[in-house]
Amino acid sequence: IGAGARMGDQLLHDAAAVLQPGFVNDESGRVPDWVRRALAEDGLGGVAYYGRNIAATPERTGELSAALRTENPHVLVAVDEEGGDVTRLDVATGSAFPGNYALGHVDDPELTETVAREIGLVLRRSGINLNYAPDCDVNTNPDNPVIGTRSFGADPEVAARHSAAYVRGLQAVG
């Protein structure tokens, strides 16, 4: 039983290492106790931010990220920040950055890379080190309400070209 219990504990620890749950912080940006415990004791490897976690400025959001890192300095702080219709950083006002559909339509990979770099800079100031973007889907079904404007378009070459440019832009700023 002892070895089985240890193996079960290890399995739970390994599972926690790859999870990235969302959470609700209070107005002061305080990290909930269950998140602190999971990061410090249970091996939780990451968290996902949603609009509710984003403060008025990147620096304030960065304070929340720093609080998470006091519990686990290697924590992945993730967000889905695509610009356009899919924004967490600007959930209250709408994104200041064009989305994938607009970028694909213009078809200027340098512009896409620049936009991604600027998003990456804001993410870095916010203490966010993993972006779930870009959405690299090819929009082959114009009636698909899930992909729609999140795609760079219906042409696979355009989608590939802009997906690569977006990744280069994010990676350029870490």
Q: In which band, very low, low, confident or very high, does the pLDDT at 148 lie, cut at 50, 70 and 90?
A: confident
pLDDT in tens, 52-99: 999 888 999 999 999 999 999 999 999 999 999 999 999 889 999 999
**Helix (H) / strand (E) containing 78:** strand 76-79
Q: CA–CA separation, 20 vs 120, rounded Å? A: 19
pLDDT in tens, 4-34: 556 678 888 899 999 999 999 877 778 999 9
Q: In which band, very low, low, confident or very high, does the pLDDT at 137 lie, cut at 50, 70 and 90?
A: very high
3-state class percentages of the chain: helix first, strand second, coil last, to nearest 5: 50, 5, 45
Order across the sheet with 130-131: list the strands. Answer: 46-48, 76-79, 130-131
User: Quick check: pTM over 0.75?
Assistant: yes
Assess whether pLDDT exceeds 60 at residue 1: no
Q: How far is CA 79 from the centre of its chain?
A: 2
**Helix (H) / strand (E) containing 158:** helix 156-172
Instruction: Quickly tell me which residue has 């967000």 as its tokens.
Output: 79
Q: In which band, very low, low, confident or very high, does the pLDDT at 133 lie, cut at 50, 70 and 90?
A: very high
| Length of the chain, in residues | 174
Q: CA–CA separation, 65 vs 71, rounded Å? A: 10
